[in-house]
Structures are given as C-alpha cells and as structure tokens.
Chain A
Amino acid sequence: KAGVTQTPRYLIKTRGQQVTLSCSPISGHRSVSWYQQTPGQGLQFLFEYFSETQRNKGNFPGRFSGRQFSNSRSEMNVSTLELGDSALYLCASSSGLAGGGETQYFGPGTRLLVL
C-alpha cells in the first residue's frame, strides 16, 4: 500500500497570501488529521476530517480551514498568512473507526516558510 502523501513538500509565501496544502491518505482510510509542528509550540492538532465531515477541531484561528473530498483526500487552507504560520504541517490518516488505539500514519509533511 502506498503511504500518506503530501504536496507540496516545500512552500515559500509572503505575509498576507493564502496557501493550500494537500494530503492523500492511505487507500481505504477515511480519517485525515492535520498537525502543525513548530520549534516553539511543538506538535499541535489542527483538525480531523472523517467521511468529508470535520469531526474535531483544535485551537487555531479561523484562518485555518480544511476540507475532505469523497475520495478521502484532504486539503488545508491558511488565509492571510502570518510569519508565525511558518511550520511543518503534517497530516495523518487512519481508518477513523471506533476506538482510539488504531495507528495514525503520518505523511512526510509540508514545510511552509512565510516571509
């Protein structure tokens, strides 16, 4: 099975711009979660989508949004970029079914630099 893929791998944007990141989960997985990783805050949960519905959301401003398509692929959008949005954005996929012990498989991440 192919792993979780994220595109693009690297992005450079300027303040005020918007950006869209993409995540393709492992085939058959219906849950996609997004995490932001920074040196200062560590790994923080952004949101989770399951069967095209947002099931859970972390404590991030409304500039961060996402969606999931019928094929389980997910996109994350950040509008009006700020310098502090520079980070590694990781997505993780899992079956999303009942229980919390299932493995979440992570993608390689998208590194976003905001200038």
Chain B
Amino acid sequence: AQTVTQSQPEMSVQEAETVTLSCTYDTSESDYYLFWYKQPPSRQMILVIRQEAYKQQNATENRFSVNFQKAAKSFSLKISDSQLGDAAMYFCAYRTPWGSGAGSYQLTFGKGTKLSVIP
C-alpha cells in the first residue's frame, strides 16, 4: 500500500522568509501524481501545487515550488517570501491514475504540517 510521510508536525517561519516542508512517500508504481494541499482554519482544502512523476522538471506556482526527487521518493514544498496568509495545515498527497490497480485514483494523504507565520 502507498504511504505518505510528513515528518514535521509543526513548523514556523518569519514573514518574508523561505520555508521548506518535507514529504516522502512509498510506492511501487511508476506512474503517479503528487500534490500539496493547504487547509487554512476555515477547513477548505485548496490545491497548492501538483507534480507528475514522469516529469523531471520541478513544478512551480508563483511563490510555491517543489523539489521532486523520484529515486529518493521525496517531494518537498518550498514557500518563498512567506506571507501571513500562508499560515495553514499543509498536506502532501499521492494518487495513481484510475485503473492502475488497487487504490487507484484515491488521494492518499500525509498527516500534515502545521505552518505558522510570524509577523
């Protein structure tokens, strides 16, 4: 079974600084997708960024970028120029395409990292 591990339950960052959240996963699949979701206190899950496993280039969305190391099964999220609105729970998630086998298409989440932003 696929597992996703986020080893940092809590992290803090000064406003305008950079922070990196860690995520590792375990899978025997070759075709899969990785996601970072943000869940602010309102509890609404919002997609931050996604990465296709077959793409070597790391995904970037404005201030958010990932460091995807497929061989190491590592998928970290870097937030640059941190803002107060970035404070939230961040979840790393994994998914295989529909039809790829048991557990396909469902999102498997890590336990999350609570990020605090210090003014």
Contact = CB atoms under 8 A, between A and B. Distances in A.
A109 B99 CA distance: 27
Interface string A28-48: 000001010000001111001
Contacts of B112: 42
Interface residues of B, number: 29
B32 A100 contact: yes
A108 B105 contact: no
Contact of B98 (A45, A58, A98): A98
Interface string A49-63: 000000110100000
Contacts of B45: 90, 92, 106
Interface in A63-101: 88, 90, 92, 96, 98-101
Q: How large is the interface on A (under 10, 10 to 19, 20 to 34, 35 or more residues)?
A: 20 to 34
B42 A108 contact: yes
B109 A100 contact: no
Interface of A: 33, 35, 42-45, 48, 55-56, 58, 88, 90, 92, 96, 98-101, 103-109
